[in-house]
Chain A
């Protein structure tokens, strides 16, 4: 077990490394302390799966940097430029989120990248034209940030006499999204929302570039690579929590004359072949542990915000235990990830120390 902890620590070693505060880094002691909050009988299984999860889904600063480099190269090629500088001269990188938010962080990193490689800084991009409007972010979970940002942006001015909406519609600018991780189901939902809330052209003409698309549907072919526990009627605390959520969500959806279906449990038999976790039994152990620990945390800390669920923030109209996201970067643990990863409250010490702005 000691070895596992060391291996995990190495993967996570650059977490928030560019901040001066040493106390936010992850040490082997932190990891040990964290795992000791779980039943000793299952600690080894959890750590085994955790190492696998982080191998696959924790992106260090260097990897994110590499992602941004390759994205610029790919965009250059796809838009038929030979010199990336030419592309960058016609590219406007959208800065729509407030300071310190993930987009801000990604843009700073992008700035480093293009200064190193092309001797141009972000503020000097797009001086020739804004033919390309590029929206960069790290993780798309619910997609709410994307749709809100882009909706606001669409009504802003592109140039005199034209809004961004018109510019996208008539092709004066091409909207490009670049994400490290996206969740497919939510991305497609947001595309549909774009179609009727913004314009058909927004939905049809934008481009999505990403390193990884997590298929968070749950049908016969899904890999289900996020936390999605199976039903276990033995746990009364889970059943009680589920009933609470159903009650709250019904009240919420009543306003819209809707009833939501229940999506708490992974359908039996899915995934058909376990391709994400190393072992399907371990998977069940981890999912149960994270769910029940999350419920316990919520009981003790009793947060005011009702959208916080045991497996991460969800959408108030959904009947689930939480989003269950398993995507991490050196600077970001999304609040859609299970609480055990990031939530400091109710006496629980999370694995990652996060600052929520």
Chain B
């Protein structure tokens, strides 16, 4: 295992943290391998964020990307990727964390209820991926004291960063709109990755769930023109006033570049 001096190793106390390892665990949904958090990019349905992440290695090899998407399990998707690992995009090492961060943002935007709930359920505890081998994306249990894990825990830290983002930008424009990364060749199946915009889905979810049609809010409803024959028996109504609700201003919340707490990553 190469210890890369660029990234800090940290010691985590298991008893004080939210740990995930297997996808069926309590916090298993935080794993990129977890099912039930599918994503859709450029119109392509992708079963797991793991598959999306792995596919981003090979923008120049669309056939490999397609192979990855066809796999029914994230494990086999990863195996496909492993096979072509030496053919990854040239700047992979420099961009993989950015790409992982982007994948997690997409996972949140497109699974805002369930993934949001999951992030919330971790409170403000450290989030750690418990791995037996990977001390970069995760952390490995200390042989002497199982209560400690050591590693860069990059995935855990990205999730903590995402948690903070979610808390500060709950239901905002930024939560539902994910712009593509500004790196060369950010493509899926030959096409540039398009902006992800889940705002409409969020609105219709709210409308449906609160039974909006019950409310007597005539948003943008047309005026009714009354044809009155001056017959007093029909109860003559005043013209229904049009509610002039100004459209909600798309005030973009300033992107906080700083995140407090353990989530901070130096890159």
Contact = CB atoms under 8 A, between A and B. Distances in A.
Interface residues of B, number: 22
Interface string B231-266: 101110100100000000000000000000000000
Contact of A213 (B211, B216, B224, B231): B224
Interface in A205-257: 206-213, 215, 217, 219, 221-223, 225
Interface stretch (A12-20, A64-72, A88-96): A64-72
Contacts of A70: 227-229
A197 interface: no
Contact of A67 (B222, B225, B227, B240): B227
Q: Which of B216, B221, B222, B227 has the most CB of A within 10 A?
A: B227
Contacts of A185: 213
B229 A210 contact: no
A203 B220 CA distance: 10
A206 B222 contact: yes
Given A189-B213, A219-B216, A261-B211, A211 B234 contact: yes
A221 B217 CA distance: 12
Interface in A180-213: 182, 184-185, 187-189, 191-192, 203-204, 206-213
A211 B225 contact: no
Contact of B208 (A207, A221, A258): A258
A236 B242 CA distance: 44
A276 interface: yes
A275 interface: yes
A212 B222 CA distance: 15
A178 interface: yes
B218 interface: yes
B224 to A, nearest CB: 5
Contacts of A207: 222, 225
A101 to B, nearest CB: 22
B225 A188 contact: no
Contact of B227 (A187, A209, A261): A209
A188 B211 contact: no
Contacts of A63: 229, 231
A211 B235 contact: no
Interface residues of A, number: 40
B216 A217 contact: yes
B229 A66 contact: yes
A215 B213 CA distance: 14
B229 A211 contact: yes
B226 interface: yes
A55 B224 contact: no
B179 to A, nearest CB: 25
A78 interface: yes
Contacts of A258: 208
Contact of A212 (B211, B223, B237): B237
Nearest to A66: B229
Contact of A211 (B214, B220, B227): B227
A55 B208 CA distance: 39
5 contacts: A66-B229, A187-B224, A204-B220, A211-B227, A212-B237
Given A192-B213, A213-B237, 14 more contacts: A56-B235, A66-B229, A71-B227, A74-B227, A188-B221, A191-B221, A191-B222, A204-B220, A207-B222, A208-B224, A211-B228, A212-B234, A219-B216, A258-B208
Interface of A: 55-57, 63, 66-67, 70-71, 74, 78, 178, 182, 184-185, 187-189, 191-192, 203-204, 206-213, 215, 217, 219, 221-223, 225, 258, 261, 275-276
Which 8 A-B pairs give the minimum distances between C-beta atoms? A209-B225, A219-B216, A71-B227, A188-B221, A217-B216, A55-B233, A208-B224, A70-B227
